[in-house]
Amino acid sequence: MPITAKRLIPSDTGDIFPFKFQITTTTANTVFTVPLVDYAGLTPQVTISWGDGSGNSPLITSSTSNDRIHTYSTAGTYTITIAGLMPGFSVNNNSAIRNLITGIVQFGTVGLRTLNFYGCVNLTSIPSSASLSALGGYDGLDEMISFASFMRGTRITSIPADMFDYSPLATIFTDCFSLNPSLTTVPSGLFDTVVNANTFANCFLGCSTLTSVPSTLFDANINVLSFAGLFRNCLQLTNVLQFTYNTAVTNFSNVYNMSTVANALTGTAPELWNRTPTPLGTNAFNNCTGLSNYASIPSTWT
């Protein structure tokens, strides 16, 4: 049977904390645009402190407001503070800002529904909930719906085991940690609380140094519909999951698709092709010749 999801621990203070992150500029007159986005009809209602002594922005009520844009006259490291309602923050590989973001200071409690630092190659860590215990911890992630591209293309080296413990409403984990060349392991129980998750498509795609994942990683996620591309091109990954409790999945295409036979995957492939109804599985085990039953996998799945 699936493992029991962790009990969520609600905030015991009710305090409101701002969202804070750090940027580093290397030239004078660098322009930075805070990547505000709307979500499900919600629009921002925020003020921004730029961290350079210039004071706060006016109240921002549109994700396209010019007041979300600021020029830093001198090079340096600055902490940007956002207070109010911020339903979405999406870097989304924006070439103008992705290299400037160097740290997450705190998630705060600003009503986030979606959050991504996609492309922030200078982002190397996620602060632990313990380190933020006096600043809202992960409480501010309790209304999150989408973790799509959350840490995609960053350089984080580890994932806090309780990263999603406060996000029971989250359903979307597409590309959550994909294209990361620094991540080697995934903690046990990482997704136990997000029992409503419906997609993990490409979640760890291209994590080139990932070597192992817990065998029970998705046991609690019985509502998932797609694992397409989940571990695609994780060439150093050594173990294959069985997806025993993920019986609702309709798409396993490219789940372990490897670009070359020079990959480390071993073990026995789960016979997903024998499920009724048969899920999609195009190239699910392509080039996974180290699997003990590779020869018996249907050709459409390899």
Residue-level pLDDT at 173 = 99
Residue 277, preceding bond cis, omega within 30 degrees?
yes
CA–CA dist 106, 92 (Å, integer): 20
- pTM for this predicted structure: 0.95
Q: Per-residue pLDDT tens for 103-161?
A: 999 999 999 999 999 999 999 999 999 999 999 999 999 999 999 999 999 999 999 99
Residues with Cβ < 8 Å from 20, sequence gap 6 or more? 79, 80, 81, 82, 104, 105, 106, 108
Percent pLDDT > 70 in the chain is: 95
Q: Are 178 and 146 in contact (CB under 8 A)?
A: no
pLDDT-based confidence at residue 15 (cuts at 50, 70, 90): confident
| pLDDT, mean over the chain | 95
